[in-house]
Amino acid sequence: MQREAIVMTANTASKNKENAVGKSRATNARPGADNVHGVTLVEAINLALRRALSDDPDVVVLGEDIGTNGGVFRATLGLREAFGYKRVIDTPLAEALIAGISVGMASQGMRPVAEIQFMGFINATVEQMLCHAGRLRNRTRGRLSCPMVLRAPFGGGIHAPEHHSESTEAMFAHMPGLRVVIPSSPTRAYGLLLSAIRNPDPVVFLEPKRIYRMVRQQVVDDGQGLPLDTCFTLREGTDLTLVSWGAMVHETLLAAKQLEEIGVAAEVIDVATISPLDMDTIRRSVEKTGRCVVIQEAPRSFGVGSEISARIAEEALLYLRAPVQRVAGYDTPMPYPGNESLYMPSVADIVDAATATLENA
Residue pair 26/51 in contact by the 8 Å Cβ criterion: yes
Report if residue 299 sits inside a domain. Answer: yes
Report if residue 225 sits inside a domain. Answer: no
pLDDT tens figures, 80-120: 999 999 999 999 999 999 999 999 999 999 999 999 999 99
| pLDDT surpasses 90 at 347 | yes
- Do 198 and 243 sit in the same domain of this protein? no
Q: Region 225-248: what's the mean pLDDT?
A: 98
Q: Which residues pair with 268 in a beta bridge?
A: 235, 242
By mean pLDDT, which of 2-16, 39-53, 191-205, 208-222 is the weakest? 2-16
- Do 283 and 346 sit in the same domain of this protein? yes
Report if residue 275 sits inside a domain. Answer: yes
pLDDT at residue 21, as a whole number:
35
pLDDT at residue 27, as a whole number:
36
**Given the residues 37, 159, 164, 174, the one annotated as active site:** 164
- What CATH number is given to the structural domain containing 67? 3.40.50.970
pLDDT at residue 9, as a whole number:
35
pLDDT at residue 261, as a whole number:
97
Helix (H) or strand (E) holding 296: strand 292-299
Stronger pLDDT, 136 or 6, i.e. the higher one: 136
- Do 159 and 265 sit in the same domain of this protein? no
Report if residue 212 sits inside a domain. Answer: yes
- Do 37 and 184 sit in the same domain of this protein? yes
- Do 199 and 59 sit in the same domain of this protein? yes
Q: How many C-alpha atoms does 293 have within 13 Å on its Cβ side?
A: 30
Distance of alpha carbon 31 from alpha carbon 255, whole angstroms: 34
pLDDT at residue 25, as a whole number:
33
Q: Region 25-47: what's the mean pLDDT?
A: 71
Burial 266-277 (b: 16+ CB within 10 A, else e): bbbbbbbbbbeb
Final residue of a structural domain among 196, 220, 244 = 220
Report if residue 241 sits inside a domain. Answer: yes
Q: Identify whether 164 is a catalytic site residue.
A: yes
- Do 255 and 336 sit in the same domain of this protein? yes
- Do 169 and 307 sit in the same domain of this protein? no
Which pLDDT band holds residue 34 (cuts at 50, 70, 90)? Answer: low
Q: Region 279-295: what's the mean pLDDT?
A: 98
On average, the pLDDT of the chain sits at: 91
Final residue of a structural domain among 165, 200, 220 = 220
- Do 174 and 267 sit in the same domain of this protein? no
Report if residue 50 sits inside a domain. Answer: yes
* CA dist list (Å): 58 to 17, 52, 89, 242: 21, 9, 14, 40
Final residue of a structural domain among 171, 193, 220 = 220
pTM: 0.90
pLDDT tens figures, 311-336: 999 999 999 999 999 999 999 999 99
pLDDT at residue 35, as a whole number:
83
The whole domain housing 315 covers 232-359
Report if residue 227 sits inside a domain. Answer: no
Residue pair 126/213 in contact by the 8 Å Cβ criterion: no
CA angle 264, 296, 358 (to 5 degrees): 25
Q: How many CB atoms lie within 10 A of CB 163?
A: 15
Q: Region 250-277: what's the mean pLDDT?
A: 98
- Do 173 and 283 sit in the same domain of this protein? no
- Do 92 and 205 sit in the same domain of this protein? yes
pLDDT tens figures, 170-220: 999 999 999 999 999 999 999 999 999 999 999 999 999 999 999 999 999
- What CATH number is given to the structural domain containing 337? 3.40.50.920
Distance of alpha carbon 171 from alpha carbon 179, whole angstroms: 12
- Do 82 and 152 sit in the same domain of this protein? yes
Distance of alpha carbon 185 from alpha carbon 247, whole angstroms: 9
Report if residue 215 sits inside a domain. Answer: yes
- Do 30 and 89 sit in the same domain of this protein? yes
Number of domains present in the structure of the chain: 2
pLDDT at residue 322, as a whole number:
96
